Amino acid sequence: MGYDINACGSATIPADKVLEAGRAFVIAVRAHEDTDKDWSPDVTTPKAVCALIGHHSELFAPSIEADGSLLMSNPDDYFRRLDEEEWIFEALGPFFDEGSGFEFTGEDGAKWLWEFNANGVKEVDSALVYGPYIAAPSAVKLIVAALYPDGKLPVDEDQGAVLDSIRNIITESGFGPFAGLTPLATLAETAEGEES
């Protein structure tokens, strides 16, 4: 198993920095992987740099744009083991356009960003990005606990109580489309009182 992650966003290395980024990437590969000391891949063209990065990245697809810039994007919606790709972005980070980056969402609702600047890659925690919505992971954990009490699905007659519990969790969490709304029962009582 693993930790499912969704990524969106992209990062571009301008055409005038692609070859320099390729040379830096070769140094990073040597440091990260067991290569022959004489290993010296071709990084003399943007196409060669693109192929080299593509060979080492399983999660992100590099491509050369019409203007000669190198675009890194994620071809798959979901993947696992993001940690195996971090070294690639640490090496290439200083070459990406300032402010470009990727937004990630974990299977538990946690969110974070990779932002690129002249110093490399900076990971920005979801609490800084999303403020009070950081409550999402704890609300999700409570909902999963309500759905699977004692680690198993509840019997049919308990499902109404489970749904009531989930509604209360969402309402009280401050997260989600129904958070902070007046419970339907209260609205119905108010409506009945107005009719009489």
pLDDT for 66:
95
Contacts of range 176-181, beta carbons closer than 8 Å, 24 or more positions apart: 176/136, 176/139
pLDDT for 4:
75
By three-state DSSP, how is residue 16 classified? Answer: helix
Q: Give pTM, 2 decimals.
A: 0.61
* Spatial separation of the C-alpha atoms in residues 105 and 140, rounded to whole Å: 13
pLDDT greater than 50 at residue 133: no
pLDDT band at 12 (very low <50, low <70, confident <90, very high): very high
Encode pLDDT of 96-115 as tens digits.
998 788 888 877 777 788 88
Q: Could you tell me the two tokens for 50?
A: 């693109």
More reliable by pLDDT, 88 or 189: 88
Give the gyration radius of the chain's Cα atoms.
24
* Spatial separation of the C-alpha atoms in residues 155 and 168, rounded to whole Å: 20
Q: Could you tell me the two tokens for 100?
A: 């470009």
Encode pLDDT of 40-82 as tens digits.
899 999 999 999 999 988 777 899 999 999 998 876 655 555 6
